[in-house]
Structure 1
Amino acid sequence: MTHIAWWACWASAFLLVHMFAGYPLLMWLWARVRPRPVVRKAWLPTVSIVVAVHDGERYIRTKLANLQGLDYPPELIDIVFACDGCHDNTVTIARRSTDARLTVLDFPNRRGKAACVNDAVALTRGEVLLMTDIRQRLSPSALKELVASLADPDVGAVGGELHMENVRTGFAQGVDFYWRYEKLIRHAESLTGSTIGVSGALYAMRRSLFKPLPAGTVLDDVLIPMRVAAQGKRVVFEPKAMAWDQPSQEPEAERRRKIRTLAGNFQLIQLAPWLLSPWRNPLWFRFVSHKVLRLLAPWLIVALTLSSGFLFNRHPMYALAFCALGGGALLVGAARVRPGLGRWMPARIAVAFFYLNLFAAQALLAFARNRRLHLW
């Protein structure tokens, strides 16, 4: 048992350190030593904007006004709204628009985002596809900044930067901290070649590289970039192209969205098993380090806790690891009992870390119970 505990302790510790510190540090050093800059230049291709929406009545007027305010020649843009089984006034409001560039697709039966995106793209005419969601606000220069990166012939897709606003609670601040950390990794990945995912709120790609998505795909913003990379093109991150969203203020509000997104990673591996093949996936090391190990993180934490507890008296190092994990758990509990403590930076980071890993564990269970994920 001691031998098994030793291997479990060191293996889990190594993988946890690699995914949360080693891999980001490796990408950062690589970006410093051998960066691959994008050859950006002014370029004005025709652009088709695709928005898939389900019950977006609250946001659609603002979104249309936001898209109409983009700093880009309007005659080079067409817009397709794909309304998926909307039961509110989304379709009615969209069709009242006087913008001649807008096409509204009304699908009375709910089929999911992937099917809507496929049908919308089939109607587009632009050289470039701009993918965005209904809720987020885009900066006026976002489109120009994205296509400037696509002017580099080696670039096939480019993601924008999503900013959080109205960050009020300690939990929201922790989520915002995690998201900033995630963007630093994506930026480093981009500078060294390709990032493995983009924000679904804002990304652009060459239309010629788009392939129809499998029905029910949840993470189009990961599968599409990975397919672009598999076709020999770079996927890059452009921080000057900005979108704004609001984070969940409390864990329960974040739970459903995060579980669905994390379960989408398991679905992604089921839909595209080639992603796990180092011979077929050119970004295999990045995909495993950045995505796959994140899914294993909660179970690795459990393994490290149990094994370091078993080895507690064998060496002070194991006792230190066990106490550190226990201290983190106590900090999370204290922050939940006394919400004011949750605004202290170590506490809010610990709380966000705890819940994101809890949701990852729940996502595996949710996917195991139901392989057919919710459409939205």
Structure 2
Amino acid sequence: MAGALMLLAVHPILTYPVSLALFVRKRPPVRLRAADAPRPSLAICMCAYREESVIAAKIERLIEIAEAYGPATIHVYTDAPSDDTAVIAQRYADRIELVIGTERAGKTYGMNLLVARSQSDLLMFTDANVESEADVAIELTAPLADPTVGCTTAQLIYSNSRESSTSRLGSFYWALEEWIKRIESDRIGLVGCDGAMFVMRRALHTPPPPHLIDDLYLSLQILVSGSRIVSVDHVEVFERSATGADEEKRRKQRIACQAINVHRAMWPRLRRMAALPLYAYVSHRPMKWLMPFFVAGAGLALLAAIGAVAGAAAVGGVVLLAAILLLIGEKAQIKPFSLFSSALLSLFGVAQGVIESVVFKKTYAIWDPAMSVRLDAQATDPDRPAA
């Protein structure tokens, strides 16, 4: 029993991508837009809350992106920030369309508003804390010359993997996600994408309900439409991972709750997909969020087996030893125990988020960002290329 549950737990990150690599043939490469071909019009949309430490640099980079691309406009919404984000953004009001919210309404509301106020063939979405090169729009829009492609996304890299056990674990997990994305992209197209930076056709955009997270909702809409989501692997964007285990737990709790809310809303349409995309969706999305429950079930089954063989005292000893080792890892940050404690706390956060969605119908339309993700790093990853 324990082994079967662990197999279910690792399926989204191990047996699922391996099954695609072994049994699904690669699709032909997408057709790219010629370098000298006219570029479709593009609206670059970004929402910001408390981003005063990065907003100026981000807007300046968006201006560079728009100038490099050509027919592009920039649209920024500030969600009634309590710091100087809106004040700083106003310095650029002559070069961007700036909407300053008077009360908090959330990212999805803001993105819907920006899309409605823009006129373009393509839509580009990005987050304020994400760094990129100036040619990113040129590269991300090139595959949309292929009519089968409805959306493209960049490769996200966490730039502070060496700051803490939590950031190291987060960077490892996301590198694993990017590996899965490359396999999916080559064979069936991505099953959803994150909001760091992606581009989609306006014709495929339907405004998400304000209480649902926009990036997953929009990308699943594209999936059920039959269009392909492509990972443009050579386009790298960077952001910071959370550095504190408790902060990362709360972040995972929110993300899991948001994701399950989207899955429940989209399921009536998702379940009508063909067998292969449905297998990919279930494997990579809902099963990933059920991982903590599979792991917990495997642990309980293992303890039951130990109890049946060695008795209750042995079970108590195993539990006590595990608790001591995890406490050492969390408080003393001694590897590898600190990695295990961070992983378990993240799984606990995911489980809480799933329960919040399914049982309590909670939403996170409005939330405060993890501050260590936003703060300028004192010790950044030396392996990261200069932006």
TM-score category of the 2 structures, normalised to the smaller one: 0.7 to 0.9
Instruction: Please give the root-mean-square deviation of Cα atoms over the aligned residues, in Å.
Output: 2.8
Q: 1 CA distance for matches of 2:330 and 2:65?
A: 42
- Matches of residues 153-172 of structure 1 in structure 2 within 5 Å? 153-167=147-161, 168-172=163-167
Conservation of the 8 A alpha-carbon contact between 2:328 and 2:338: no
Query: Is 1:13 aligned to 2:12, yes or no?
Result: no
Structure 2: tracts of 5 or more residues without a match: 311-316, 368-387
Q: What is the letter of the counterpart of residue 84 of structure 2?
A: N
Query: Is 1:371 aligned to 2:362, yes or no?
Result: yes
Q: Alpha-carbon deviation of 1:350?
A: 3.2
Q: 2 CA distance for matches of 1:276 and 1:324?
A: 43
Q: Deviations over 1:309-347 (max 9, x none)?
A: 32348899xxxxxx99999877544422432x32x5xx5
Q: TM-score if structure 1 supplies the norm length?
A: 0.85
Corresponding residue of 1:213: 208
Q: 2 CA distance for matches of 1:369 and 1:171?
A: 28
Conservation of the 8 A alpha-carbon contact between 1:169 and 1:250: yes
Q: Alpha-carbon deviation of 1:48?
A: 0.5
Q: 2 CA distance for matches of 1:332 and 1:81?
A: 43
Corresponding residue of 2:22: 29
Query: Is 1:309 aligned to 2:303, yes or no?
Result: yes
Q: 2 CA distance for matches of 1:201 and 1:373?
A: 18
Q: Deviations over 1:251-287 (max 9, x none)?
A: 1222222211111112112322325514479732112
SS in 2 for 1:110: coil
Query: Is 1:358 aligned to 2:348, yes or no?
Result: yes
Q: What is the letter of the counterpart of residue 38 of structure 1?
A: V
Q: 2 CA distance for matches of 1:13 and 1:143?
A: 41
Q: Deviations over 1:159-201 (max 9, x none)?
A: 1111111331122111111110011001111111211122211
Larger deviation: 83-92 or 138-147? 83-92
Conservation of the 8 A alpha-carbon contact between 2:249 and 2:350: no
* Counterparts in 2 of 1:107 and 1:329: CA distance versus 1, 3 Å: same
**Percent same amino acid at aligned positions?**
23
Q: How many residues align?
A: 356
The list of structure 1 runs, each at least 4 consecutive aligned residues, that deviate by more than 6 angstroms after superposition, is 313-316, 323-330
Q: 1 CA distance for matches of 2:11 and 2:241?
A: 27
Q: 1 CA distance for matches of 2:45 and 2:276?
A: 28
* Counterparts in 2 of 1:97 and 1:34: CA distance versus 1, 3 Å: closer
Query: Is 1:133 aligned to 2:133, yes or no?
Result: no
1:76 alignment partner, one of 71, 75, 78: 71
Q: TM-score if structure 2 supplies the norm length?
A: 0.83
Q: 2 CA distance for matches of 1:23 and 1:363?
A: 23
Q: What is the letter of the counterpart of residue 350 of structure 2?
A: A
2:195 alignment partner, one of 177, 197, 200: 200
Q: 1 CA distance for matches of 2:89 and 2:283?
A: 42
Q: 2 CA distance for matches of 1:328 and 1:22?
A: 28
